[in-house]
Structure formats: structure tokens, C-alpha cells
Amino acid sequence: MVLLRNFINIFKVAELKKKVLFTLGVLIIYRLGIHIPVVGVNIAKLQEWIANAGPVSGLLSYLDMFSGGALAKCTIFALGITPYITSSIMMQMLGMTIPHLEQLLKEGEYGRKIINQYTRYLTFVVSLVQSFIFAGMLERGGFVVTPGWGFRLMFMLSLTVGSMFVMWLGEQITLFGIGNGSSLIIFAGIVARFPSDAIKTVYQVMEGQLPPWKGIAILVSFVVITACIVFLEKGSRKIPVQYTRRIVGQRVYGGQSTYIPFKINTAGVMPAIFASSIMQIPLFLISFLSTKFESLRWLGMYVSPMGLVNSVLMFLLIIFFSFFYTALVFNPEELADNIKKSGGFIPGIRPGKKTAEFFNYILTRVGLVGAIYLGILALLPNIMIMALGVPFMISGTALLIAVGVSLDTAAQIESYLIEHRYEGFLSSGRITGRRGR
């Protein structure tokens, strides 16, 4: 009852209610677009082929998981938000190497607008390339009613327009809704498959195709992994900060102690999103080459989504993007300078450069632990699938993204509720005292 009452509080805050309803409305539009098929493809034959889970179809099934089933249905939203995420990663990397882009990143809001525009252009190009590869795979597999350049151009146009529209929907959520738009669209695609996967598992247990103990073990494993993600996402290293007392006129300022929390996972769920988006590019190419050249069929088998090579690459990419994203959003020098200007210092550490070095040292040590834990959590469900024979496709990265985005969105809702003197949506965010009227 307490949780239900706190949930109702969301709709008592006018601004929060508007943001939540807007976000839900955009996600509904996105889910409706999932069911609009592209003209000229034999959908039934394609879905039957993907369901066989062969080397190449297994790759497509893995990619289909992030699109919420749009890839298997060959809809206009088949590419989803992936081209935009990929383009964002590329622009951020280029921004650290190309002087012109690096200068734009330092120019504040104006520079970010220009970078975002470049990202949109690059998204258009990436969408065209991916849709062309996908069209070639469909033609090679015999899933196209009338092959040829007419189909290819129409297919590329449909998927590219759909991808650009999904990108626009994500931007609208970020601007006018609650949470990060791109992350929520990926989240919506992942969790949309959960009910059907759960029903499929229950059906197989009832039909005797899956032993009951395996069904229970699958449920317990997912609950434990989810609990571990939630628990470790809350972990942090607290750095104490002492502020000196200052007398201004008749008032005394400062003199109090506080702390700066360094989360174990400073980068949040973004490394998992970046890693999965980057991995989709070689998977698309491998699928295309495996269908086009008979001599490369072994490649699709060798780089299986649940295989050792893919798992190791995903683990390394998550660690890399954990440090990469942390370096983008966290500046130890700037933080140390702000503390110094405010009259603060770390006990035992000299203000200024020494404090920045201390922050960098702590951030590297804590970040390494967070990156390794993030990579291990991303691989655990893969190991569980192979050990228990899970009857559906779910990657550790997808589960990590789903739980991480849920926590981030819940934290934003929490902040709105506490700001308006309501009890928090989560038990950890409840405040004491009188509620706001």
C-alpha cells in the first residue's frame, strides 16, 4: 500500500505528471511503429528462419533483441536507435582527436548544437549503410518478393526514415520527458520481449519440454542478477571535504564537513549501451558475409552472440567505454578547482593540483572495480543460458541496460518527488517531516 501511495504521488506533481505522460506517449508511438512492416519482404519465412537459431539466424536473433522484435518483423523501425548511438560514439571519439571538433566541444551550448547536428548527419549515413547490408542479407536468403535495386532503394529509404524518426523521438523524450530518450527507447525494446519470453518458458515447463527445476533456476538466477545490479549500482566511495570558516560582515560561512560520493559505476549504463551498439556493426557485416559467401559460413558460427569470442570482446569493450565515458563526464581538475574556490579541502591533501591528482587516483581505482563488475554482470546471463538451456535469447548486456535505465529513471522521478516534499518513489528516497501541500 505504501508503494502504491508513493506511486500515486507522481500524478500529484503537475510538472512530473506531464513529463511521465509525455514519455509514455512517445514510447507508445515507438511501439506502434514496430508493427509497420516494410513492403516486399516475406515476413513469415524470415521469422521462421530466425527461429531456427542457426549461426547467422542466431546473430539476427541477438540483434532483434535490442530492437524489440522489429528486426524479425522487418518493420520501418528495424534499425531502432542503434545508428544514432553508434554515431554519437564516433563523434565523441572524433571530438578527442580532431582539433576542430575538440574546439566545438569547448564552446558550450553552441558547440554542442553543432556537434549534435553532425551526429544527425552521421546517423543518416550509418542508417543507409546498415539498411543496405540488411537488404543484401534478405535478398541472399530468398526472403524478398521482387529482388533488385527497386526493392533495395525502397528498403533503405524506409529503414533510414524510420531510424531518423526514432532518433527524433528519443530527443523529444530527453527534452520534454523524463530520463534519457535514447536509453529509454532501447529499454522499451528489451523489456517488450520479457512477457512473451516468460510465457514461452512457462509453456515449455507445462509441456514437459523443460524440467521444472530448470524453470525455477532460471527465475532465481534472473532475480539474483538483478538484485546484484541494483545493490552494486548504489555502492560508492565517499571522499570527505572540509570547508573553512569565513566571516562576511556579521555572518559566519562554512566550517561544515561534507563528502563527495564516487560511485563504483560512475559511467552508469552507458558503457553497456555503447559496447552493444559497437558490436552490432561487425555482427551485421558477419551476417552479410556469411550469407553471401559460402566459404565464410564458419565465420558466423565462430562469432556466435553467446560464444567465447563475442563475450570476451564485449567484456573488453565495456571496460574501455567505462573509462572513456567517465573521462567525458568527470573532470578531476575542474572539481578540485571548484572546491578550492569554495574554501574547501580534502583532509590531508593540499588544495589544487594535489587534490586533482588524488581525485584521479581514486577515480581510476574505483572505476576499474566498477568496469570489471560491469563486464562480469554482462556475461553472467550468457553463462546461465549455456548452463541451463534458457529457451529464449537474452544477453547480459540487455539485462544490464534494462535494470540500469530503470534505476536512472526512478532516480529522476525520486528527485522530483522529494523536491515537492512528497515521499520518494523508492524506500531509499523517503524523507521525514511534513509533506508538501
Segment holding 210, helix H or strand E: none
pLDDT number for residue 320: 86
Q: What is the CATH number of the domain that holds 198?
A: 1.10.3370.10
Domain count, the chain: 1
Query: For residue 36, is it within any domain?
Result: yes
Query: For residue 434, is it within any domain?
Result: no
d(CA 324, CA 318): 10
Query: For residue 435, is it within any domain?
Result: no
In the 8-state DSSP scheme, what is residue 12? G
Query: For residue 313, is it within any domain?
Result: yes
pTM of the model: 0.73
d(CA 433, CA 379): 43
Q: Which structural domain range is residue 153 located in?
A: 2-429
CB 431, CB 416: distance < 8 Å: no
Q: In sequence order, which residues have a C-beta less than 8 Å from that of residue 173 and are 6 or more positions away?
A: 22, 23, 26, 27, 179, 180, 181, 184, 185
Q: Which of 398, 371, 353, 249 is nearest to 315 (CA)?
A: 371
Query: For residue 436, is it within any domain?
Result: no
d(CA 418, CA 348): 35
Q: Mean pLDDT for each consecutive 10-residue tract of the chain (437 residues)?
A: 65 83 91 86 77 55 67 82 84 79 77 87 90 83 83 91 92 89 85 80 82 82 80 78 65 66 76 76 69 65 66 84 79 81 80 84 83 80 70 68 82 78 51 38
Q: How far is CA 54 from the centre of its chain?
A: 27
Query: For residue 301, is it within any domain?
Result: yes
